[in-house]
Structure 1
Amino acid sequence: MHLLKKYAKTMLFPSFVLIFILFYFLQQDSKDEPFESISTIPQQQSEQLNNENEEQPIVNIMVDVKGEVYFPGVYELTTEDRVIDAINLAGGYTEQAETKHVNHAQKLQDEMVIYIPKKGEELENQPIESIVMSGQVSNDTSDKININTADESQLTTLPGIGPSKAQAIIAYREENGSFKTIEDLTNVSGIGDKTFEKLKELIDIK
């Protein structure tokens, strides 16, 4: 019993030392383990990207091509087509076509009127837009020129009607009274059937 107490005291200190050493090495091992960081990838805003990349829908439209083309008329195209496409569809220009005011690259709009004037045709005092490409033309008669009441400045906005023809229209009214039909316009000097064809959708008598 005395020996047990004696050796217990002598073994106690080495035991503490051994435990301390083991604890030290265990701590070192834990520090050496690589730290794995977790990175997250933010979720993409897929709906927003889809909306940004969404293209405008292509819509079928009707365009009226008038004047110096081989086959004047109303043609069906799309909003992706341009003026040159409408002209080509109408057979292209005649030899008498005046094309210097035509913007061939302009995109088409529904109800657009593309009017191609003849070389030497009176174009003075007329906005280029009303000669070549009158935007959207409404069927409402309120948008038309009343040839019974229009003054010279209003008449000259019509394709093919310059100051001299406008004065001739006014003079006809003063001498013969109001136009009874729009076809009576062909009775005015200098206004024939071809000119009337360009005007009939743009004029009214009431």
Structure 2
Amino acid sequence: MEQVAAPLKEEEWVVYVTGAVARPGVYSLPAGSRVYQLVEKSGGLTDEADAESINLAAKLADGVHVHVPREGEDKATTQGFMTQENQKKGSFLGSASAGLIDINKASKEDLERLPGIGPKTAEAIIAYRESRGLFERVEDLLQVKGIGPKKLEAIRNLITVGSP
């Protein structure tokens, strides 16, 4: 009897979407997908989405984070599309900030967009920053109540510590 190998599952990419979409989160999409397909899978843009600031036709890649800004959102603290490769290079579609959230400048709302950071933890980060001064290293977040090693690892690639 001849054995037939099971067909290989089409390659899938895992991507993370935040911001002004109906269901932010982590999604699996077929390799070669585009931003608009991720937006559709996440329930579409919300009414407050700043659709002009994101390229819906951009190609995705495995492991990317797509943030859909809201109208009036501070473009200095978040950007529309980032990849792990661009984060490592320190570039983000021409931006030196790599689209990372600067924990020394971020508002409560900016911090709450990070996975696992709710209102109380965001307030604790801001209170720590105001009482003890600016963070010098990302690891300094471990001094904030509500942030442990696991939570820090979950947000490490999404944040930065900018200069004062």
TM-score range, shorter chain: 0.5 to 0.7
2:17 is aligned with 1:62: no
The structure 1 residue matched to 2:84, chosen from 115, 118, 136, is: 136
Is the alpha carbon distance of 1:74 and 1:162 closer, same or farther for their aligned partners in structure 2, counting shifts above 3 Å? Answer: same
RMSD: 4.3
What is the aligned residue count? 117
Letter in 1 for 2:16: D
TM-score by length of 1: 0.43
Residue 174 of structure 1, CA deviation: 6.6
Residue 175 of structure 1, CA deviation: 3.3
Q: Deviations over 1:63-92 (max 9, x none)?
A: 101111010011000222111000000000
- Computing the radius of gyration over CA atoms, which structure comes out larger, 1 or 2? 1
Which 4+ runs in 1 deviate beyond 4 A? 154-157, 159-165, 169-172, 177-180, 182-185
Cα distance between partner residues in 2 of 1:79 and 1:156:
23
1:118 aligned residue: 70
2:142 is aligned with 1:181: yes
The structure 2 residue matched to 1:103, chosen from 38, 43, 55, is: 55
Residue 182 of structure 1, CA deviation: 7.7
2:159 aligned residue: 203
- RCO higher in structure (CA 8 A, sep ≥6): 2
Alpha carbons 1:113, 1:134 under 8 Å: kept: yes
Cα distance between partner residues in 2 of 1:75 and 1:104:
16
Cα distance between partner residues in 1 of 2:47 and 2:142:
33
Gaps of 5+ in 1: 1-57, 144-153, 186-198
The structure 2 residue matched to 1:88, chosen from 28, 31, 40, is: 40
Which structure shows the higher helix fraction?
Answer: 1
Instruction: State the identity %.
Output: 31
Cα distance between partner residues in 2 of 1:182 and 1:133:
30
SS for the counterpart of 1:69 is: coil
Residue 170 of structure 1, CA deviation: 9.4
Residue 159 of structure 1, CA deviation: 4.3
Letter in 1 for 2:40: N
TM-score by length of 2: 0.53
SS for the counterpart of 1:63 is: strand
2:114 is aligned with 1:158: no
Cα distance between partner residues in 2 of 1:136 and 1:170:
27
Letter in 1 for 2:73: E
